[in-house]
Structure 1
Amino acid sequence: MVIEQLTFSVPPTLLDRFLALDHDIWTTALSQQPGFISKEVWREAACPDRIHLIIRWQSRAAWKAVPKALLAETDRRFAEALGTVIPVLLCTDQDVVHSP
């Protein structure tokens, strides 16, 4: 399993809308892709505008096989629905080495 982590700084005035649209647009699109396992949204306690999207994939190959055109179109739809672009501060991945 591999974990994809995306970090954003979301203004408090946009947080509820960002979360709802992320679920409706991004999670819906990604959940239909082979190898998608799950997705969680975390908010930093010390920095409440800092949002982390934690996406679990069966493998790095499955994650990287998501069509670029799908990602671009989903990103376009999300930004259009939100009315602004919230840039990704960090995109990283981790390999799961042990899970009970």
Structure 2
Amino acid sequence: MVIELLKFKVAPEQREHYIQQDAEIWTTALAKYPGFLGKEVWINPNDPTELILIVRWATREQWKAIPVEDLQAIEAQFTQAMGESYPIVELAEYQVRKFPQLMSN
């Protein structure tokens, strides 16, 4: 599994609207692509402007196979719904490594 981490700055008064639109537009669109496993929104209790989106993908290849044109169209739809653009503040990728379970005697 691969984790896509996206960090955004969103004004506190826009946060709930942002989360709702993200779910309706981005999550709905991404769910149509092979390899999409799910998405979480993390809210930083120490910084009300910080939102982190965690997207889980089965493989990096499936994630990166999404056409750039599709991503641009989804982003345009999201920007129109929000009335402004929200640039990514931080982007990271992580691989999930599972360890074999420890055997008990």
Distance (Å, rounded) in 1 between the aligned partners of 2:77 and 2:65: 20
Instruction: Give 5+ residue unaligned stretches, structure 1.
Output: none
- Map 1:21-40; keep pairs closer than 5 Å: 21-40=21-40
Partner of 1:14: 14
Question: Which residue number in structure 1 is paired with residue 78 of structure 2?
Answer: 78
| Identity across the alignment (%) | 38
Q: TM-score, normalising length from structure 2?
A: 0.91
The equivalent of 1:47 in structure 2 is 47
Report if the CA contact (8 A) 2:11-2:48 is conserved. Answer: no
The alignment's TM-score, normalised by the length of structure 1, stands at 0.96
Number of residue pairs matched? 100
> Runs of 5+ in structure 2 lacking a partner?
none
Moved segments of 4+, more than 2 Å: none
RMSD, matched Cα: 1.1
* d(CA) in 2 for partners of 1:35, 1:16: 27
